Amino acid sequence: MGTPQPLVAPAQAQAPSMSRAQAPGAPQGADRDPVRLEDRHALGGAPPGTRVGVWHDLLAVPACLAPSRRLAATPCGAPGPAAGGRQTRLVEGRGGLGIGPGGVGGAKTGPNPTDRRKLGSKHHVITEAQGIPLAAILTGANAHDVTQLLPLVDAIPGVRGKRGRPRHRPGCVQGDRGYDSEPHREGLRARGIEPVLAKRRTPHGSGLGVYRWVVERTLSWLHQFRRLRIRYERLPETHEAFLTMGCALICWRFL
């Protein structure tokens, strides 16, 4: 702060006064002037025997400092107990803090075999011949496609068409070699559905590629929605609700 001039009232500006260098007990030197209350300095004067130095200036001792220039036994503004609220997301673990209920992951997630086993989810969709989605299921990324074949067929709602009862089951189901399974073929036949599923280790050219591309197109339509391209929700019910909304929007735009 250098050598500040004493602050005096305008009426006393012409009055003779003793300089600080001549004052008894004042240290000599331009950089060793004390900041004292009697000189009307704005920083005030420190109590006797308890002064705090900042560079070459002497400041008054704060209220939270004891006379020994250390933190007082009960400093002002001491923190009190935490306010009641929801439980913290950090929980005690072996050797540190782990991620609690608010962490990443969630139900219906699994290691993605195509992305270095990162946690992810998979959309399973069944469509009609033109690509209109009939049902959609959410599973972990490591769930095989064939495991959701019969659940998808059973999840088809009633489709209104000709006069009579709504139709819940299609006449046939087409699938690629990922759905090659004799037990699932028998399950489709038991439901009165003809299975048209490609078999492994057979020559290509069965003609299923002419019809199955509509399912891939429907999946690309679904993944145009930002909330379906990447799963941001921890609860699977929330993501399934967005998946249902995406299917409804595709039906509304298509029809």
pLDDT in tens, 56-80: 555 555 555 555 555 555 555 555 6
- 217-252 per-position pLDDT tens digit: 999 999 999 999 999 999 999 999 999 999 999 999
pLDDT of amino acid 80: 60
Average pLDDT over residues 163-185: 88
The predicted structure's pLDDT at residue 191: 93
Q: What pLDDT is attached to residue 228?
A: 94
The per-residue pLDDT for range 102-154, each reduced to its tens digit, is 445 688 999 999 888 899 999 999 999 889 999 999 999 999 999 999 999 99
Name, in order, each residue with C-beta under 8 angstroms of 40's C-beta and a sequence gap of 6 or more: 6, 7, 8
Helix or strand run (H / E) with residue 218: helix 209-222
Sorting pLDDT into bands at 50, 70 and 90, what band is 83? low
At a CB cut-off of 8 Å and minimum separation 6, what does 48 contact?
A: none
Cα distances from 216 to residues 74, 236, 249, in angstroms, run 69, 23, 17
pLDDT at 64: 53
Give the pLDDT mean for 165-176.
Answer: 86
pLDDT at site 151: 95
How many Cβ atoms are within 10 Å of 166's Cβ, its own excluded?
A: 10
| pLDDT single digits (tens) 176-219 | 888 999 999 999 999 999 999 988 888 776 666 677 788 999 99
The confidence score (pLDDT) of residue 21 equals: 47
Domain positions in the chain are: 34-61, 110-158+166-254
User: Which amino acid, 57?
Assistant: D
pTM reported for the whole predicted model = 0.57
In this predicted structure, what is the pLDDT of residue 13?
43
Provide the token pair at 195: 């299975």
Residue range 86-108: mean pLDDT, rounded: 52
Q: Give the CATH architecture of domain 110-158+166-254.
A: 2-Layer Sandwich (3.30)
